[in-house]
Amino acid sequence: MGIKLNLGGLMDQEDRMSLSTSAARNLSTTTKTRVQVSGLTPRYLLKLLPWVDVQSGTFRVNRRKVLMMDGGKIKARVEGKKVVIEDAAALRALPILNSLSQSFLETLTARFETEHNEQGDVVFEEGSKGDKLYIIVQGKVEVTRADAENEKVQIALLNDGDYFGEMALLLDEPRTATVRAKTPCVFLSLNRKQFNKLLDDAPGIRKDFEDQVKKRQAQLSTINEYGETGVALSSGLEGEENLAESFVDYDEMPPEYPLNTVQTIVRVHTRVADLYNDPINQMQEQIRLTVEDMKERQEWELINNEHLVFCVKRRNQCACQQEAARQRLMTWTNCYLGYGKNRHFSWLTHKQSLHLVANAHAVAPHRQP
């Protein structure tokens, strides 16, 4: 019967001249990183947006009262080779036509002619004779004007349902801007001669129309380029001038937007937070990773959620740039985290930084009106 001895450990110990790395590792603190996340994106949109602190769940945009309102778009459809205006009443989107009767508007729709332009075509140039109103059925056009240095300045980009050149129905004056087709376009056009002929056949309607024109011209002389009533001011160096009297009127029904929230509950057991909290704080790491996911979701919502539409700019009509009819804003709000069973805290991001706070606020993107 033989006896087998395991002398490997003893032989290794006798051959070694210093402490082994495997044994020394038990007395060492390893260098650890924070938890890495592969799904993070640069989130350029969140960085570019201007942010505003809000104290409630509703965002109200107050502004000066606008007298010259954009009436909206005129819907038309293509049926084969024919273009049809869906509702004659939609022509009231043009301020100069909003006082005309329904029967007159229905007669007027039959006088429109269909025109086609290819991409890059000039519909009309600044300084040319103006004699037509245009309604865009399909396509996109660019409206430009030459500045003092004769450089081209873009005034507006118009698309389906927008209109331009309406002043040609009123005045025999040169065009004040150049319109160029950015895409292949289909237009409905109305000649001033055709329009005047219809008015001649209805003297009563002509009088109403001329009164509307006078009212519009009077408003244009008192408003600024954004459709707001101007403030009467006086300036001078010598003498005692009679000072003008004026006031600034406000919009009586400013738009209000409810703020959406992104929220969740983070659970951290006290055993984990007490026993495994060094060198990386488990609570802060859980919050940090949750914040990153919520920021990703925030930007995703801003880009993909069809109900969140912000920074929408409507057409430029008669130098009156209006705010969007609808604007929905996205908030970055509270995340409630449970610590154990009885202790609760709240947090939010403020100026892209993490803070633990007692009273939560909200942050919403905002564009100056």
Tell me the percentage of the chain whose pLDDT exceeds 70: 77
Residue of 192, 198, 191 lying closest to 171 (CA atoms): 192
pLDDT tens readout for residues 282-331: 999 999 999 999 999 988 888 887 766 554 333 333 333 333 333 333 33
Q: Which residue type occupies 269?
A: H
> Is 50 exceeded by the pLDDT of residue 153?
yes
Q: Report if residue 3 sits inside a domain.
A: no
Q: Cβ(191)–Cβ(131) under 8 Å?
A: yes
**Mean pLDDT, to the nearest integer, of 252-259?**
84
**Mean pLDDT, to the nearest integer, of 3-17?**
59
Q: Report if residue 275 sits inside a domain.
A: yes
Average pLDDT, the chain: 75
Domain end call among 220, 243, 269: 220
CA distance 31 to 290: 24
pLDDT tens readout for residues 189-221: 998 888 888 888 877 777 777 777 777 777 777
> Is 80 exceeded by the pLDDT of residue 226?
no
pLDDT tens readout for residues 29-58: 888 899 999 989 999 888 888 888 888 788
* 272 and 346 assigned to the same domain: yes
* 174 and 261 assigned to the same domain: no
Q: How far is CA 366 from CA 44, 55, 260, in A?
A: 16, 14, 14
**Contacts from 146-151 at CB under 8 Å and sequence distance 24+?**
146/178
**Contacts from 245-253 at CB under 8 Å and sequence distance 24+?**
248/64, 249/64, 249/65, 250/62, 250/63, 250/64, 250/65, 251/62, 251/63, 251/64, 251/65, 251/66, 252/65
* 104 and 199 assigned to the same domain: yes
Tell me the percentage of the chain whose pLDDT exceeds 90: 18
38 or 360, greater pLDDT: 38
CA distance 181 to 166: 18
* 266 and 358 assigned to the same domain: yes
Q: Where are the beta strands (DSSP E) in the chain?
A: 51-54, 58-60, 76-79, 82-85, 113-117, 122-124, 132-138, 141-146, 152-158, 163-164, 178-181, 185-191, 256-258, 265-268, 316-317, 320-321, 335-339, 343-350, 353-357, 362-365
Q: Report if residue 111 sits inside a domain.
A: yes
* 209 and 301 assigned to the same domain: no
**Mean pLDDT, to the nearest integer, of 145-172?**
84
**Owning domain of residue 301:** 44-62+253-365
Domain end call among 220, 236, 270: 220
* 53 and 113 assigned to the same domain: no
Report the greatest alpha carbon distance in the chain.
134
* 89 and 118 assigned to the same domain: yes
> Is 50 exceeded by the pLDDT of residue 345?
no
| Whether residue 279 has a cis bond before it, omega within 30° of 0 | yes
* 51 and 115 assigned to the same domain: no
Half-sphere exposure of 237 (CA within 13 A, CB side): 0
- Per the listing, tokens 């019967």 go with 1
Tokens of 121: 């075509």
Domain end call among 173, 203, 220: 220
pLDDT tens readout for residues 162-171: 888 887 887 7
Tokens of 218: 């009077």
**Mean pLDDT, to the nearest integer, of 222-238?**
76
> Is 90 exceeded by the pLDDT of residue 122?
yes
pLDDT band for 349, please (50, 70, 90 cuts). Answer: very low
Please state the domain count of the chain. 2
Which range has highest mean pLDDT (140-154, 175-189, 242-256)? 175-189
**β-bridge mates for residue 266, sequence order:** 337
Whole-model pTM over 0.85:
no
* 185 and 153 assigned to the same domain: yes
CA distance 38 to 300: 16
Q: Cβ(282)–Cβ(345) under 8 Å?
A: no
User: How do 353-357 and 343-350 pair as beta strands?
Assistant: antiparallel
**Mean pLDDT, to the nearest integer, of 47-71?**
79
Report the C-alpha dihedral over residues 310, 314, 316, 317, rounded to 10 degrees: -150
> Is 90 exceeded by the pLDDT of residue 332?
no
76 or 356, greater pLDDT: 76
CA distance 93 to 70: 7
Q: Burial of 217 by CB count in 10 Å (0-12 exposed, 13-18 middle, 19+ buried)?
A: exposed
pLDDT band for 354, please (50, 70, 90 cuts). Answer: very low
> Is 70 exceeded by the pLDDT of residue 89?
yes
* 50 and 154 assigned to the same domain: no
Provide the pLDDT for residue 4: 52
* 188 and 215 assigned to the same domain: yes
Q: Report if residue 231 sits inside a domain.
A: no
* 104 and 145 assigned to the same domain: yes
Assign residue 202 the CATH number of its domain.
2.60.120.10
